[in-house]
Amino acid sequence: MFTQFFGNYLLNQNLVTPEQLIDGLQAKNNTRMKLGVLAINAGYMTASQVEMVHMKQSTMDKRFGDIAIECGFVTSEQIDELLSQQPQGYLLLGQAFVDKGYMTNAEFEDAIRTYKEKYSLSDNDLNEGEDSKSDVMIDSLIDLSDMPNSGLYKQYIVLMMNNLIRFTGDDYTPLEPEFKIDSDSEVYITTQDITGEFNVKTGLIADEKTLIDFACRYAGEELTEMDEYVDAAACDFMNLHNGLFTVNVSNEHEIELKLTPPSTVKGVNSEDINDIIVLPVQYPFGIIKFLITK
């Protein structure tokens, strides 16, 4: 989840544009992690030291790590440590922005420092995905404190963010929440009701192309047109996510909930759905809007 919120942070701080964010998300999984960004993230080198090593590399045939050691910026043990690390998603995203010239090393250095400070994140949190920080990050995205059952709403959103990573990939960024939907005859909406002590309507909204691409991700199949397979994939994702949520709620809070069968229809009438939280999620292929009624 830290990778996804890092993209949101960069966007909100105007460090990247929406177009650059999409481009970075597309490039992230094919990006090669470089020692300079790893060293900056670990606090072993400053951005100016990294740039100095890059300049020296242009005049001599030596590896980045060897030059950095010769300059006294890092030790050989630190280089070995960095080389042994499994690249984290947020670092690959940052590396993609640096590679494309959307950010300098200095801007990345400042961004990752302030991002960690904002969410009180340690390197262990970022490397191990500490769930204890999820609430803090969701609170920074949306204030649910005044809502009845605020804890259940937060649990629903955290699970949604994690399920998107598990079942559709980690190359998305949550955008700023909305609290209404516009009528649109061309989009598709998949809905499912959760009934019981926590009684809400849930769903996802997307245009045709975006929904097809989302269904391809989830189903792991090549789908090219809006048909029953895309419909089934969208319904199955909502049913899977909501099913996991109801099981968790039952186990943790002893609250029994039921689900209605999910369904997909074309066209959204804003008058039919009121008092909602809309969570837009930016993928490289488009925006999916997930909704839950208050």
| pLDDT of res. 141 | 87
Tokens (6 digits) for 27? 């490039």
Residue recorded with tokens 């030291």: 49
* Element of type H or E holding 189: strand 184-196
List, for residues 31-70, the tens digit of each pLDDT value: 988 899 999 988 899 999 999 999 998 888 889 999 999 9
Give the pLDDT score at 232. 97
Show the low-confidence residues of the chain (pLDDT under 50).
Answer: none
Give this prediction's pTM: 0.83
For residue 87, the model assigns a pLDDT of 75
CA distances in angstroms from 65 to 43, 72, 193, 257, listed in the order given: 15, 11, 55, 56
Contacting residues for 55 by C-beta, under 8 A, at least 6 apart: none
Give pLDDT, residue 2. 76
For 215-224, what is each residue's pLDDT tens digit? 999 999 999 9
Report the pLDDT value the prediction gives residue 30, as an integer from 0 to 100. 87
Instruction: Look up residue 249 and give its two tokens.
Output: 């709620």
pLDDT of residue 18: 92
The identity of residue 88, as a single letter, is Q
The answer to whether the CB of 258 falls within 8 A of the CB of 194 is yes
- Distances in Å between the Cα of 101 and the Cα atoms of 9, 70, 95, 280 are 18, 27, 10, 27
